[in-house]
Amino acid sequence: MQGVVERLTYHSEESGYTIARFKAPRTSELVTIVGSFANIQAGQTLQLHGIWKDHPKFGAQFQVTQYRETKPATLTGLEKYLGSGLIKGVGPVTAKRIVAHFGLETLEIIEHQIDRLSEVPGIAQKRVKLIQTAWVTQKAIKDVMLFLQSHGVSTTYAVKIYKQYGDAAIATVTHNPYQLATDVYGIGFVTADAIARNLGIAPGSEFRYRSGLLHVLGEASEEGHCFLPQDELVGRVTKRLAIDNHRPDAEQVLRLIEQMVLDHTLVKTDTPLDGLEQFGYYAPPFFGAEQKLADQLQQLLKQPIEVDLTRVQRWIDRFMAKTGMPLSLQQRQAVEMAASHRVLILTGGPGCGKTFTTRTIVALWKAMGKSIALASPTGRAAQRLSEMAGQEAKTIHRLLEFEPKTMKFKRDVDNPIPAQAIVVDEASMLDLFLANSLLKATALDTQLLLVGDTDQLPSVGPGAVLQDLIASGQIPVVRLTQVFRQAQASQIVSNAHRINQGQFPQLEAVSDQPQSDCLWLGAPEPVAGVQAIQDLITALIPSLGFNVSQAVQVLCPMTRGEVGTRNLNTVLQQLINPPSPAKAELVRGGMILRVGDRVIQKVNDYDREVFNGDLGVITAIEVEEQDVTVQFTERLVSYDYADLNEIALAWAITIHKSQGSEYPVVILPIYMQHYLMLSRNLIYTGLTRAKQLAIVVGPQKAIALAIRQVKDQQRYTLLDQRLQKQP
């Protein structure tokens, strides 16, 4: 059957699975076609092979087994094809002009005489160049896509693979598909392994074993580990590499591990691990970062500080008198220690005065004439720190001046941060690599204050930096424990401390006129929970004076399930930001993105200077230019369509992604379907994200389970032991 694609009913970029309406010649009715397409657009003329099937609900459908594209044969087909978003720079209006000028010769002109497009009114030479580049790229991408599709690769990544390797894409994939796992974000070992199998690469190939072993260490780092002990590494690798009738034996894996140590693709611990009587193995970047971080901290701690403590104490007395804000004994101790110590850790739960103590330390350092830099891991936390301290605070990435071209920070040992004192807030979020980069750029005559809450979830990235620094016993720590009277009035604060002590929180049942800032709505089943969240957003929360689209954040333990982020984002988008003719939108990978949507950045993108966990709002979607503009806290950021897998809807996000942020209203669904993730520090972190109102949705049984489960936060790191060793 030959004809034209009229419209796409559904297209998954992930699998290529498509349902489309198709116009065949000499038929007035549109035909439904179903199949897997590498790249399909409305307006394409296709020659299809397949079989007719009768769907019990939707009637006759043509199941496509093979297809090839031919040139559109009608002017309408050409217009639809060119204006479908296929070519960056050509939308429906431009397509209509081009086809009106060149008629059925349009594609021939674009293919062989593209400069003639400047004859078309409204198309300048600059636009011609843009169209030419897009057309050539599109043709090359199509070749790559068809090749990859035939070898089991998702179409989502074809553009990225082409960007990475250019014309060498097919050759690279054919020679060593495991290279994709290293070079292309989103393609991991599992996908590379599937491609390799399709290409006939043997299950026992050394390429496969090496890639699989590094993949296992990468998976472990996503759990927070910096290395794995030998037995665990061997066990995970043999399980991961087992396929069909092939299962590697432990001796085989051990031989490969030793070989990789010899060629420096793995690093072995100097001595056996405490209590395990076996060695641990690092991927080299993890070993280097942990070693350098410990060395730099030891160097910093050795630098003496001379200070007149009597003057400092007199300044504190004057400061308290001037502000009318007395410091507790713990707070005063922290301020005095900040004056006289090279590195200090300030920790404590909500309502214990970390913010006021930090503000006082900053004021003291200013009075001492020190230049001060303020930083935090996230944009929102930096903004909060800035408001609190009365001077500019930056994200750590901006403070270190990341350079996308070199993929390195400009600030380092040779070019340190130009400050005599540095404050880092939300230090529990510091992972191994960010902490190492920060310490490398901290001059030896600088003072460093790390402020954080160790009872929160540990960093998303590898390591347990704040916990390790405290556990080492080498760095002075002040732990604030006294909850201040004004904070005691907040049930959010008092419940956070109850949860920390393993007690069930005091939650007020939701009503029209709540008296507490910490509420509970039973909704025993997840489906009822979804409805309850919708009711809260449409009725109670607006009645309390909150702007729903700006103030409310739903925080979930997981992405899956009815009360996971994936489903709730679909529900909440329809509720808070429904479709309208005034709002541009697009469908990408089964997800609708619409102007006005809240989105979250899923990965660190150093080129755009947006980082994992940053929240923004879509302000524009340009169909012709094929880009989406998002307003983040600090800047407007533009995304090419090919890079949209970096963002996701964020009406609901995971509690892990919320670290370092605060929201006026937090809705926290806690259900047994997430029992694997439920833990005390998870619910504690979620609750303490709320500034004015927290609403827990779900059965008491699930809340009680979360509080009981003190998940073993043991991560395989040796930072604390390295700090204890004599340098």
Looking up tokens 């307006």 gives: 43
- Please check the confidence at residue 453 and state whether its pLDDT lies above 70: yes
| Token output for 141 | 């991408």
67 vs 654, more confident: 654
Whether residue 310 is annotated as binding a ligand: the answer is no
Q: Please indicate, yes or no, whether residues 467 and 528 belong to a single structural domain of this protein.
A: no
639 located within any domain? yes
Whether residue 518 is annotated as binding a ligand: the answer is no
Q: How far apart are CA 466 and CA 470, in angstroms?
A: 6
What integer pLDDT is reported at residue 383 of this predicted model? 86
- Cite the DSSP H helix spans in 281-422: 284-301, 309-323, 329-340, 354-367, 379-389, 396-399
What integer pLDDT is reported at residue 158 of this predicted model? 66
Q: Please indicate, yes or no, whether residues 380 and 527 belong to a single structural domain of this protein.
A: no
371 located within any domain? yes
Q: How far apart are CA 435 and CA 300, in angstroms?
A: 14
Whether residue 561 is annotated as binding a ligand: the answer is no
What integer pLDDT is reported at residue 390 of this predicted model? 87
468 located within any domain? yes
End-to-end CA distance of the chain: 76
Q: Please indicate, yes or no, whether residues 331 and 480 belong to a single structural domain of this protein.
A: yes
Q: Please indicate, yes or no, whether residues 470 and 492 belong to a single structural domain of this protein.
A: no
Question: What are the E-state strand segments in 408-525?
Answer: 408-409, 421-424, 447-452, 477-480, 508-509, 518-521
End position of a domain, from candidates 448, 467, 486: 486
Q: Tens digit of pLDDT for each residue in 2-39?
A: 888 888 888 876 556 788 999 888 888 899 999 877 67
Q: How far apart are CA 135 and CA 624, in angstroms?
A: 14
337 located within any domain? yes
End position of a domain, from candidates 453, 471, 486: 486
What integer pLDDT is reported at residue 589 of this predicted model? 66
Domain count, the chain: 3
What 3-state DSSP class applies to 169? helix
The domain in which residue 302 lies consists of 295-486
Q: Please indicate, yes or no, whether residues 675 and 559 belong to a single structural domain of this protein.
A: yes
556 vs 402, more confident: 556
- The contacts of residue 417 (CB under 8 Å, 6+ apart) are 373, 399, 400, 411, 441, 442, 443, 446
What integer pLDDT is reported at residue 727 of this predicted model? 67
Q: Please indicate, yes or no, whether residues 481 and 567 belong to a single structural domain of this protein.
A: no
- Write the CA distances from 34 to 27, 52, 155, 296, integer angstroms: 18, 10, 17, 60
Q: Please indicate, yes or no, whether residues 343 and 455 belong to a single structural domain of this protein.
A: yes
Q: Please indicate, yes or no, whether residues 536 and 682 belong to a single structural domain of this protein.
A: yes
What 3-state DSSP class applies to 184? coil
Q: Please indicate, yes or no, whether residues 481 and 630 belong to a single structural domain of this protein.
A: no
Q: Please indicate, yes or no, whether residues 598 and 700 belong to a single structural domain of this protein.
A: yes
Q: Tens digit of pLDDT for each residue in 561-605?
A: 999 999 999 999 999 999 999 899 888 767 899 999 999 998 878
* Backbone region of residue 137 per phi and psi (left: phi > 0; alpha: psi in -120 to 50; beta: other values): alpha
Output helix, strand, coil percentages for the chain, rounded to the nearest 5: 45, 20, 35
Phi, psi for residue 652 in degrees, rounded to 5: -125, 135
CATH of the domain at 627: 3.40.50.300
pLDDT level of residue 149 (50, 70, 90 thresholds): low
Q: Please indicate, yes or no, whether residues 458 and 499 belong to a single structural domain of this protein.
A: no
- The contacts of residue 445 (CB under 8 Å, 6+ apart) are 303, 420
Segment (H or E) for 480: strand 477-480
587 located within any domain? yes
Partners of 66 in beta bridges? 49
659 located within any domain? yes
CATH of the domain at 46: 2.40.50.140
Q: How far apart are CA 328 and CA 324, in angstroms?
A: 13
End position of a domain, from candidates 455, 470, 486: 486
pTM of the complete model: 0.77
Cβ atoms of residues 332 and 357 within 8 Å = no
- Burial (Cβ within 10 Å: 0-12, 13-18, ≥19) of residue 636: exposed
Q: Please indicate, yes or no, whether residues 350 and 471 belong to a single structural domain of this protein.
A: yes
| Token output for 632 | 């983040």
Whether residue 88 is annotated as binding a ligand: the answer is no
Cβ atoms of residues 81 and 43 within 8 Å = yes
pLDDT level of residue 217 (50, 70, 90 thresholds): very high
Whether residue 354 is annotated as binding a ligand: the answer is yes
Segment (H or E) for 630: strand 627-632
Q: Tens digit of pLDDT for each residue in 299-326?
A: 999 999 999 999 999 999 999 999 998 9
Q: Quickly count helices (H) and strands (E) in the chain.
A: 28, 29
- The contacts of residue 62 (CB under 8 Å, 6+ apart) are 1, 22, 31, 32, 33, 34, 48, 50, 51, 52, 53
431 located within any domain? yes
| Token output for 283 | 């991927």
Q: How far apart are CA 479 and CA 353, in angstroms?
A: 11
62 located within any domain? yes
Q: How far apart are CA 19 and CA 12, in angstroms?
A: 9
